[in-house]
Amino acid sequence: MCTVMSGPDSSPITATTLLRYSVTATDVQTVRQQLNAADKCDDQMIRQFVQATGGDLTTAIKRIQATLTWRAQVHPETMTCTACQQLPKSHYMHLVGYDLIDRPVMYSCLEMVTNRSIEDNRRHMISCFEQCVQAMPPGVGQWVWVSDFKGFGLSDCDPRLAKVFLDLSAAHYPERLGLFIVVDAPWIFNTLWRAISPLVDPFTKQKIKFLSYDVSKRYPQGKTLAPALSQVFDPELTSWLLAELAENRDKRVGPNKVCFIMHVSPPSGVGQVLASSGHNSVPQSTALACRA
């Protein structure tokens, strides 16, 4: 195991599923009996809400009904990022593969973002969340988010975007976040963390890990970075992430890259890389079609 930077939780990073509450089959059946037969709510969705409420089935039912109403009004499953459709360089957050326990993995990089509109980012976030849910194989209910903080500046200290994520997650995607890996957070991030920390559930804080980008000539994959990533991802996806992190710090390459949009399907193997965004070492996957 590899120790991470000091952060919300300083325990070693591992590919494990943290559960707030162990949901039983009886819990699922009890909740389903209170829902309409026509409601589009699978067992995994019920489990997520029951976990989030710590087994309070009455509250879980109310929250599920609120989310079903929201989904009927908003149709998040078909939502696309209109900003990225108009300008592909608007955002840089997308589904890239699976971790060692088959959880979908998202990667984002602030250095590559040109659009910081709260509403546009909310739409892009929902689109990514929905892709992750669609890509989950049976029995998997969480995703992993690798957030590269290269490019984080004063303009990113606005807590409203972080609040959008927290509100969306709590209201409509509870317990979906399995692990949030923050890479290369600068000292100025402490300003944002102080603002949002009181809003973050203590259990969720256990899922937030900070890693240094400690790549150097002596340690071309980082003294601690690569070992830490390899605790969660297989060698192929670890290599992809290291190459992606390096590219997005290369001014000859990074400015020419755009976020890719995909159609997804469940993985055929753990740690699978979904698609290439320009890394010669990453094979093309039959799991999706991507656009650069």
| Dist CA 6 CA 185 (whole Å) | 11
Percent of the chain with pLDDT over 90: 54
Residue 177: C-alpha distances to residues 152, 205, 239 (Å): 22, 11, 23
> Within a 10 A sphere around the Cβ of 182, how many other Cβ atoms?
21
Which residue did the predictor score with more confidence, 159 or 58? 58
pLDDT greater than 70 at residue 93 = yes
pLDDT greater than 90 at residue 234 = yes
* pLDDT given for residue 147 in this prediction: 94
* pLDDT given for residue 165 in this prediction: 86
Which residue did the predictor score with more confidence, 112 or 226? 226
**Contact assessment for residue 110 and residue 150, using Cβ atoms and an 8 Å cutoff:** yes
* pLDDT given for residue 1 in this prediction: 33
| Dist CA 157 CA 152 (whole Å) | 8
Phi, psi (rounded to 5 degrees) for 94 = -155, 165
**Contact assessment for residue 195 and residue 207, using Cβ atoms and an 8 Å cutoff:** no
Mean pLDDT for the stretch of residues 32-48? 91
Lowest mean pLDDT among 41-45, 73-77, 189-193: 189-193
- The residues, ordered by sequence, that sit 6+ positions from 130 with a Cβ below 8 Å of its Cβ are 76, 77, 79
Q: Identify the three-state secondary structure at position 29.
A: helix
Q: What is the pLDDT of residues 141-191, one digit of tens each?
A: 999 999 999 988 777 777 788 888 889 999 999 999 999 999 998 888 888
**Contact assessment for residue 264 and residue 133, using Cβ atoms and an 8 Å cutoff:** no
Q: pLDDT band for 10, please (50, 70, 90 cuts).
A: low
Beta strands 290-291; 208-211: pairing state: unpaired
Which residue did the predictor score with more confidence, 280 or 111? 111
Q: pLDDT band for 280, please (50, 70, 90 cuts).
A: very low
Q: Identify the three-state secondary structure at position 267.
A: coil
> Within a 10 A sphere around the Cβ of 133, how many other Cβ atoms?
21
Lowest mean pLDDT among 60-69, 110-119, 130-139, 237-246: 110-119
Residue 25: C-alpha distances to residues 30, 47, 148 (Å): 9, 9, 38
Q: Identify the three-state secondary structure at position 276.
A: coil
Closest CA to 13 of 197, 227, 251, 243: 227
Burial class, 94, CB count within 10 angstroms (exposed 0-12 / middle 13-18 / buried 19+) = buried
* pLDDT given for residue 115 in this prediction: 85
Mean pLDDT for the stretch of residues 77-81? 89
Average pLDDT value over all residues in the chain:
83
Separation of first and last alpha carbons in the chain: 35
**Sequence letter at residue 258:** V
Q: List the structure tokens of 158.
A: 């606005």
